[in-house]
Amino acid sequence: MQLDHLPLNRAAVIRAIDWDVLPDQEGHRLRSLGFEPGVTIEALHKGILIWRDPIAVRVGRMTVALRTNVAAAIDCELKP
């Protein structure tokens, strides 16, 4: 399941990140913020009004905001 479709407040594990569809800079920043396969994440909040974009995601003990087009490149699996 792509991160942008993840239900809120459910822990999930990153399965794969499609680095090729991300612009270099965003891939680089995503990595330095700790996004990597095997890391546990959790979608916490979605943006305002009808847009529901960007998404606030917990990664480690940190909260990161990213847009849905970047989130769509992150494939994850809900934890049971």
Partner 1 sequence: MTQMPPLVALVGNPNAGKSALFNALTGARQKIANYPGVTVERKSGRATFDDGQPVEMIDLPGAYSLDPDSLDEAVTRDVVWGNLEGHRRPDALVIVLDAGNLDNHLRFALELIAQGLPTVVALNMVDLAERDGLQLDAEKLARALGVPVVETVAVRRRGLAPLMAELERTLKTPRASVEPVAVSFGATNQQARDIARSVIVSETAGRQWTRRLDSVLLHPVAGVIILLALLFLMFQAVYGWSEAPIGWIESGFALLSDAITGALPDGLFRSFLTDGVIAGVGSVVVFLPQILILFLFILLLEASGYMTRAAFVMDRVMAAVGLSGHSFIPLLSSFACAIPGIMATRTIMDQKERLATILIAPLMTCSARLPVYTVIIGAFIPSVTVGPGIGLQGLVLFGLYIAGILGAMLAASVIQRFVTQSRTSSFLIEMPRYQWPRLRDIALNLWQRAWVFLRRAGTIIFAATIILWALLSFPKTPVGSGISQVEYSVAGRIADGLEPIVRPIGFNHDIALALIPAMAAREVAVSALATVYAIDAADEDAAASSLGPKLAADWSLATALAFLAWFVFAPQCISTIAVTRRETNGWKWPIFMVTYLFALAYAAAGITYWTARSFGL
Binding site for partner 1 (CB under 8 A): 23, 25-26, 28-34, 36, 39, 44-49, 51-54, 56, 59-67, 70
Minimum CB distance to partner 1, residue 43 (Å):
12
40-46/11-17 β-pairing: antiparallel
For residue 42, list its beta bridge partners. Answer: 11, 58
Minimum CB distance to partner 1, residue 52 (Å):
7
* Position 69, amino acid: N
Minimum CB distance to partner 1, residue 51 (Å):
4
Q: How many CA atoms lie within 13 A of 68 on its CB side?
A: 11
